[in-house]
Structure 1
Amino acid sequence: MPKVSICIPAYQQVAFLRQTLQSVMDQRFTDYEVIVTDDSPDDSVEALLSEFDFGGRLRYVRNAKQLGSPENWNAALRLASGDYLKILHHDDNFTDADALGDFVQLLDDHPDAGFAFCATLIIDVATGHQRVHRATESQMQALRAMPEVLFAGNFVGAPSTTIYRRAFSLEYDIRMKWLVDLDFYIRILQSGTPFAFSTRPLICTPTNAAHQVTEVCRDSGQIELYEYSILFEKIAHKVAEEPEIWEQWYRLFEKYHIRSRRGFLKYGVAQPEPAVYFDQLIASYRRKRLLTLQGLARIFFAIYPKVPAPVRAPIRWTKNGVLFVLGRQRKLPPAGEYGGDK
C-alpha cells in the first residue's frame, strides 16, 4: 500500500496536464501512486500519459461516460489505496521537488491531524503576474474555532492545496461546483480533527484560465445563490446568527440585487428557507444599506424633485461648486512638473 495517493481528475487541457505530471515525476518522495480518471471526449490525455513512465505506479481510467465536476474527483478518490489522499487538479502542479514530501511530513509530524493544507503560488495566465495566497494567523484561529467560517470566504485554497488521511475520506457533493471545496473542508473539520498548515507554497495554480470552473461560475447568480443556499442549509443549525454568515449574505444580496426572498426566483433558485430567518436577514440588510452614504444619496435624490424650488436652488449651486472644484483637482499637471517620473 503506498503512503499517498495522488488523484488527478483530468479533462483535456493536456498542456497543463503535462506540467502537472512532470511535477509529479520530479518529486524526491516516491512512495506514491498516481490515479488519473479521464473525463475527456477524446484520447488526448491517454496519448499524453504514454510519454511518462511512473514505474507501475500509474492507474489510468477512461470514464465510460462523462462524469463532470466534481464526480470525476470522486471517481479518482474511490480508486485510491494510499494512507494519505491528495487531489491534484490537472492544471495545478507541485512548486518544487520537495513539495510532496512536505505534504506528507505535515501529517507525519502532526499525528492527531486528519487534514492539512498549504499556501499557494498563483500565476495569472494572462499577465504572468505571481502572488502567494496564504491564510493569516487570525484566519487560522477562526478556522479552529468555527470551520463554518469558510462560508464567508475560502482562505484554505483549491483542493490541490490539501492532503488528508484515508480515515477522513469523504465524497464531494455533486450538487455543487463553485462551493464544493468549502463544503468538503467544513465537513472534514466538523469532525473535530485538528489540521496542519504549511506557510510554504507547495502548489502552483493558474488563474484567469478560460477552462477553469471558477471562471465559468464567477458572477453567476444562479450558481452562487443556489450553492450558498445548499451550504447554508447544512450549517445553519450551528452558525445562522454568526456575524460572518450575515455579512456574506449581505454581500450576495448586494451583488445580485436581492431585496426580498422572491429575488432568488429571477435567478432560477428557490426561495431560501427558513422564510422567517431570511425575511429578517433581508430586512436587516436593507436597513443597513440605507444607512450608507450611497443609501442616503438614493433617499436624497428620491425626495429632491419634491423639494420647493427656492430650497433646491442653493442645493444645486452647492453641488455645482463642489463638482467644479473636483473637476479642477482632476486636471493634474504632467509628471515632469513634480520633478520626478512617478
Structure 2
Amino acid sequence: MPLDILVPYWGDPALARQTVQSVLDQRDGDWLLTVVDDAYPDRALGEWMATIDDPRVRYVRKDRNEGITANYRTCVSLATQDRVVILGSDDVLLPDYVGVVLAAHAAHPDVEIIQPGVRVIDGRGEVVRPLGDRVKSWIAPHVRRPTVLRGEPLAVSLLRGDWLYWPSLAFRRDVLERTEFHDDRPLIQDLALVIDVVAAGGALLVEPTVCFSYRRHGASASSTGGGDGARLRGERDYFAAAADQMERRGWRRARRAAAWHSTSRLHALSLVPQAIVSHRGQVPALLAHAFRPAPAVRTGGRR
C-alpha cells in the first residue's frame, strides 16, 4: 500500500521544490505525491513539476485561491490510499520517512494518527532549536519505541501543550474524511482536528524515529502573528470550546487542561519582552492571554 502524500501549496517555489525533491529521494519508493497549488501567483513550481517524469507524481492547480482550510479539504478529497500525509510545502522528508511510516502502519493499521520523530530546520535548512520547539520536546511523551496513546490522558497532554507537528502526521484516510476541519480556526485547526479524533475514541502512535524536518522560518504561518490579538482571541475561544467538549465527554481532567491551556499562556508571556521592543501594541493582548483563563462556554455548544 503506497503512502499518500498531499501538499497544499502556497509560498516560496524554491522551498516547495525542496519538499517535492525530498519525496522523490525517499529510500522506500512506495508512495504517491499530489501537489495542490492554491493559485499561487508565481507559476514556477508547476513549470518545474511538469518536467518530472514519474507516474507517482501529479500536480493540480486551482483556478482561484481558496485558502488553506479549503485546500486541506481538496487534498483529502484527492487521497486514494489508506494512510495519508498532508505535507507542508516548505517541509522536508528525511530519506527514511516513508519507510518508517509504512512500517508503523503495518504494525498498527487501526491507529488513527502516526506521529514520527521530527527535527526543526530554519529557512536555510539548518537544524535549529527555538524556544517553542524546545518546550514541545520537553512536554512530548519521551518514548524509546513505538507507543500508542489514547483517551483522556492523551487529550490532557495535548490541551496542556500541543507537542505534535501537523505536517508530519500520517492519518488514516477514513478519519480525515469523517472529521471536519474548523473554518473559524485556521491557525489552530490542526490541534482542533486531532482533539476531535481523540474525543471520538481515536488513538495516536508515537514513533520516535526522527525522519521529518519541520521548517520554522519567518514567513511560515506558525512563526508569524504569535502576538496578534485576533490570533490570541482565537486560541482562547478554541480552548473554551474544547473545555466544553471535554466536559460533555465526561473528561474532567481534560476540561481543566483546556480551560487553563497553560503552555499557550506561558508562550504568550514569553513573547512580552520582544513585543515591548518591537511590537508594543501587542503587549496588552499577550498579557491578557497569559493571565486570563478561557471564557466559559455553554454546555451543548460546538463540538
Instruction: State if a TM-score over 0.5 links the two structures.
Output: yes
For 1:118-267, what aligned pairs fall within 5 Å after superposition?
Answer: 118-125=116-123, 128-131=126-129, 134=137, 135-137=140-142, 144-149=151-156, 150-157=158-165, 159-169=166-176, 170-207=179-216, 209-239=217-247, 242=253, 243-248=256-261, 251=265, 256-258=286-288
The whole-number CA distance in structure 1 between the counterparts of 2:154 and 2:236 is 16
Choose 1 or 2 for highest CA Rg. Answer: 1
Q: Secondary structure at the match of 2:164?
A: coil
- Alignment coverage as a number of residue pairs: 262
Length-normalised TM-score, structure 2: 0.75
For 1:268-279, what aligned pairs fall within 5 Å after superposition?
Answer: 272-274=295-297
Structure 1 residue 188, shift from structure 2 partner? 1.6
Structure 1 residue 111, shift from structure 2 partner? 2.8
Please list every run of 5 or more consecutive structure 1 residues that lacks an aligned counterpart in the other structure.
265-270, 276-342
Q: What amino acid sits opposite 2:74 in the alignment?
A: A
CA deviations over 1:216-268 (Å, ceiling 9, x no partner): 23111211222331343144242586443343269279663339x9x99xxxx
Partner of residue 113, structure 2: 115
The whole-number CA distance in structure 2 between the counterparts of 1:245 and 1:12 is 32
Q: Indicate if the aligned counterparts of 1:10 and 1:45 stay in contact, CA closer than 8 A.
A: no
Q: Indicate if the aligned counterparts of 1:183 and 1:231 stay in contact, CA closer than 8 A.
A: no
Q: Indicate if the aligned counterparts of 1:93 and 1:203 stay in contact, CA closer than 8 A.
A: yes
Matched, 1:58 2:67: no
Structure 1 residue 203, shift from structure 2 partner? 0.8
Length-normalised TM-score, structure 1: 0.67
The whole-number CA distance in structure 2 between the counterparts of 1:246 and 1:31 is 43
CA RMSD across the alignment? 3.2
The whole-number CA distance in structure 1 between the counterparts of 2:202 and 2:238 is 24
Q: What amino acid sits opposite 1:222 in the alignment?
A: A
- Mean CA deviation greater in 17-26 or 239-248: 239-248
The whole-number CA distance in structure 1 between the counterparts of 2:286 and 2:148 is 31
The whole-number CA distance in structure 2 between the counterparts of 1:274 and 1:24 is 43
Q: Secondary structure at the match of 2:68?
A: coil
Structure 1 residue 168, shift from structure 2 partner? 1.0
Partner of residue 273, structure 2: none
The whole-number CA distance in structure 2 between the counterparts of 1:196 and 1:144 is 12
The whole-number CA distance in structure 2 between the counterparts of 1:112 and 1:144 is 15
Q: Indicate if the aligned counterparts of 1:8 and 1:37 stay in contact, CA closer than 8 A.
A: yes
Partner of residue 88, structure 1: 87
Q: Indicate if the aligned counterparts of 2:244 and 2:297 stay in contact, CA closer than 8 A.
A: no
